[in-house]
Structure 1
Amino acid sequence: MSTLEIKDLQVSVETEDGPKEILKGVTLTIKAGETHAIMGPNGSGKSTTAYSIAGHPKYTITGGTVTLDGEDVLAMSVDERARAGMFLAMQYPVEVPGVSMANFLRTAKTALDGEAPKLRTWVKDVNGALEQMNLDPQFSSRSVNEGFSGGEKKRAEIAQLDLLDPKIAILDEIDSGLDIDALKVVSDGINRFSAREDKGLLLITHYTRILRYVKPDVVHVFVDGRVAESGGPELAEELEANGYEKYTAVSR
């Protein structure tokens, strides 16, 4: 059973005025078979948590630990974190002109598995993953995310999740910019992944609408770089009804 354990994580970023502390001691544990949702106001540290775990160079770890199955994640390079079983779907997927989706995905899969997937089987797998996300198979020959709509980029991220099959998936606002039809397609893809054996999911969102399709086991409220409260799915409904005022008032 895979376990991602974050203990007292403290993170800063460099600004014009010097280092600014963003995370002030985040502690979370995501186990295989669990779906965790992080909610909170803008600037509370949600995305910083995701990018710090993934190894983005913009963020400096100043304290705490992150382990995956007991291994020190923070000591790993970004590619080592991916090979260890971690996946990050970005809020704003980048365009990679000149690199086709097919080549990108096969190269990534080869790097993760240590050997190239058999081409005939792989083409079938890619086309199947795209079809499940309502993307035309021709997307595989297009440059990564270039010219994709916002919804197509998010659906392509979930197709990648399906094909790369990590242990722990971190999805940073995968629902932003999606209409209701695309939201359902993306949610179905997330649920197919979560239904596999030994998978953990950390879902970062502003809104409860995706949580009506992807049911969280635990909801965490982030405020001012900390976990202000954790609870069951009913906590998301409370936030939808009442907002973050009772948490932000305390942190002022």
Structure 2
Amino acid sequence: MAELQIKNLHVDVETNDGPKNILKGVDLTIRSGETHAIMGPNGSGKSTLAYAIAGHPKYVVTDGQILLDGEDVLEMSVDERARAGMFLAMQYPVEVPGVTVANFLRTAKTAVDGEAPALRTWTKDVREAMERLRMDGEFATRNVNEGFSGGEKKRHEILQMELLRPKIAVLDETDSGLDVDALRIVSEGVNRLKDSSDVGIMLITHYTRILRYIHPDFVHVFVNGRVAEEGGPELAERLEEEGYDRFLSGARA
């Protein structure tokens, strides 16, 4: 069983005006088979948490720990984190001109596993995963995210996750910019991986609509760089009805 522990995490982000403190003492534990929804208003620190876990150089951990199965994640490079079983589906996936999806996926799989997958088996796995995500076969010949629609970018992120099969997957606003059909297809991909492996999922979102498809075990509300409240799925239902006003008024006070 994998376990990601975040203890008293403080994170600054580099800005043109110098470091700005965003996370102010976050405690969170995610275990295999669990889905944790991270919710909160804009600017509350949700994406900062994702990038700090992944090792983005712009996000500087000033205090606290991130442990994966007891190992210090903060001592690992970005690629070492991926090999250890961490995965980040980005809110805004970047374009990689000149690198095809097929080459990117096989290179990533080889880097994570430490050896190249058998070509015949790999080709079959990629084709079947793309079919499940309603992706045309020609998609594999396109350059990574170049000219992709919002829905195509997010399906590609889930395709990577299905093929790499991480221990802990951080999904940063995967529902952003998706229409109803794409949201359902992407959610089905997340649920398939969860059902077929012991992955632990951190699902970052503003809205509850994706939680109609991906049912969380735990919900954490972020406000002003801290966890303001925690609960089960019923907390997401309350947020649907009430919004974040009661948290924001308390933070302003």
Q: Tell me if both proteins adopt one fold, taking TM over 0.5 as the criterion.
A: yes
Partner of 2:2: 2
The two structures, once aligned, show a CA RMSD in angstroms of: 0.7
Alpha-carbon distance in 1 for matches of 2:103, 2:153: 17
Q: Where does 1:72-151 land on structure 2 (aligned, <5 Å)?
A: 72-151=72-151
- Could you report, residue by residue, the CA deviation over 1:47-74 in whole angstroms, capped at 9, with x for unpaired residues? 0000000000010100000000000001
Alpha-carbon distance in 2 for matches of 1:9, 1:180: 35
Alpha-carbon distance in 2 for matches of 1:196, 1:156: 19
Q: Where does 1:231-250 land on structure 2 (aligned, <5 Å)?
A: 231-250=231-250
Unaligned 5+ runs, structure 2: none
Shift of 1:18: 2.2
Secondary structure of the 1:44 match is coil
- Could you report, residue by residue, the CA deviation over 1:93-125 in whole angstroms, capped at 9, with x for unpaired residues? 111010001100100100111110011111111
Secondary structure of the 1:134 match is coil
Tell me if 1:201 matches 2:207: no
Aligned residues: 252
Shift of 1:201: 0.3
- Could you report, residue by residue, the CA deviation over 1:30-62 in whole angstroms, capped at 9, with x for unpaired residues? 000100000000000000000000000010100
Partner of 2:58: 58
Partner of 1:213: 213
Partner of 1:184: 184
Alpha-carbon distance in 2 for matches of 1:62, 1:99: 36
Moved more, 153-162 or 194-203: 194-203
Partner of 1:23: 23
Alpha-carbon distance in 2 for matches of 1:166, 1:208: 25
Which residue identity does 1:185 align to in structure 2? I
Which residue identity does 1:225 align to in structure 2? G
- Could you report, residue by residue, the CA deviation over 1:196-249 in whole angstroms, capped at 9, with x for unpaired residues? 232100000011010011000000000000000000011111111111111111
Partner of 1:160: 160
Alpha-carbon distance in 2 for matches of 1:125, 1:106: 11
Moved over 4 A (4+): none
Shift of 1:78: 0.1
Unaligned 5+ runs, structure 1: none
Alpha-carbon distance in 2 for matches of 1:78, 1:16: 24
Shift of 1:147: 1.0
Which residue identity does 2:87 align to in structure 1? F
Q: Where does 1:164-175 land on structure 2 (aligned, <5 Å)?
A: 164-175=164-175
Which residue identity does 2:194 align to in structure 1? S
Secondary structure of the 1:159 match is helix
**In percent, how many aligned pairs have the same letter?**
71
Secondary structure of the 1:74 match is helix
Which residue identity does 2:48 align to in structure 1? T
Which residue identity does 1:172 align to in structure 2? D
Alpha-carbon distance in 2 for matches of 1:41, 1:7: 22
Alpha-carbon distance in 2 for matches of 1:17, 1:4: 33
Moved more, 166-175 or 128-137: 128-137
